Structure 1
């Protein structure tokens, strides 16, 4: 059976294209590019949703809590070998009034729920990805009318996520090391960033699962 990996995220996993307002095609979206790089031995499940948060119910949009949907999502695609989570950007919205440490507690709930879920082929393998920071210019863009004051806390998420990952014994990657945001809404990945992120994450997935096989 192919190695089965769920990639769970928001609009930057779904592939939002700020230029068109639509969706990047499969040749650009980072989960699908990662799938091509990993090859036929892997099955990548692309689970991105615009507006998704770690664990918050949005007062204006239904069904965006990542915590509520996580278990049925994992059960749908089980048995799983790995889960990759990149969330937190939408938690930065001003209306939620969260600090970066609060947002990390939301990620902590997601990871703990996944660790305890009966969906794993063997043992859980989870990678937490800190999303690229929201640029300050976003707050003055059209998207800023919805996001509000959101940039500063987004720069603090990575260090908080790293602490949570260490506590729970899961993998961590800071995507800011390889991605940049577009110059339209300043919070969504450029085409080149999708490709760069796919390269880095596919390497981590492969190293995680293949080193596990060697140890076994």
Structure 2
């Protein structure tokens, strides 16, 4: 019997499944990694590696252990052999306290990808296959909600610039690429305008499932 293909979903609260209506977490029937699991079936094993507040490379002065580049290697080692690593990060990187431009954030993604690829020797020379998903942009209305003061100003504008820059970084690193902004049905929940709605989780999972053969080739 052929072994299951392991897919690691490495992201932030929008991968963890934060429900900004209740302040809790969406159930497994709603979170996009688990919806993807149901769509792909038993030939695949989806591993959820979402962490609220996670960034590409930035260390948060208010919360520890949120830099993706510091944890990507042990995550890959834990779940090897990994058939596909899906990276969807950048939403937290736009926070004002990091003082990072969209270009800075894309360079953080580049560093994260290179750190993941450097783990290849630990997989008996298995190639680390990576899909970069540019996160769905933050809506301007976020500043009018409870997250506005924590995020700071200018976040929506920076988040809209990430897709184009991420596409270029993915191409340079020979990674697959998908922009969440281009998927029909994507939207933010109207409670803070930066976390995905249940409808968006489903739309993202369906888009990934439709393209999975391409990503694994």
The two structures have a TM-score, normalised by structure 2, of 0.94
Give the Cα separation in 1 of the matches to 2:123 and 2:36: 21
Q: Structure 2: 5+ residue runs without aligned partners?
A: none
Per the alignment, residue 112 of structure 1 pairs with 114
Task: Give the aligned partner of residue 136 of structure 1.
Answer: 140
SS at match of 2:25: coil
Query: What is the aligned counterpart of 2:178 among 173, 195, 198?
Result: 173
- Runs (4 or more) in structure 1 with deviation over 3 Å come to 119-122
Q: Which runs of 5+ in 1 are unaligned?
A: none
Tell me how far apart the structure 2 counterparts of residues 84 and 36 of structure 1 sit (CA, whole Å): 17
**Alpha-carbon distance in structure 1 between the residues aligned to 2:140 and 2:43:** 41
Cα deviation digits, residues 32-71 of structure 1 (max 9, x gap): 0001111111011000000000011100001100110110
Which of 148, 155, 158 is the equivalent residue of 1:153? 158
Where 2:195 maps in the other structure, the secondary structure is: coil
Structure 2 partner of 1:60: 62
Aligned equivalents of 1:58, 1:144: Cα separation in 2: 17
The equivalent of 2:189 in structure 1 is: 182
Count of aligned residue pairs for this structure pair = 210
**2:9–2:46 CA contact under 8 A, matched in 1:** yes
Q: CA deviation at 1:136?
A: 0.8
Deviation at 1:202, TM superposition (A): 2.0
Give the structure 2 partner of residue 164 of structure 1: 169
CA distance in 2, matches of 1:49, 1:4: 19
How far is 1:139 from its partner? 1.6
Determine the C-alpha separation between the residues in 2 that align with 1:74 and 1:124.
9
1:120 deviates by 4.3
Deviations along 1:128-158, whole A, 9 cap, x unmatched?
Answer: 0000001111022111111011111100000
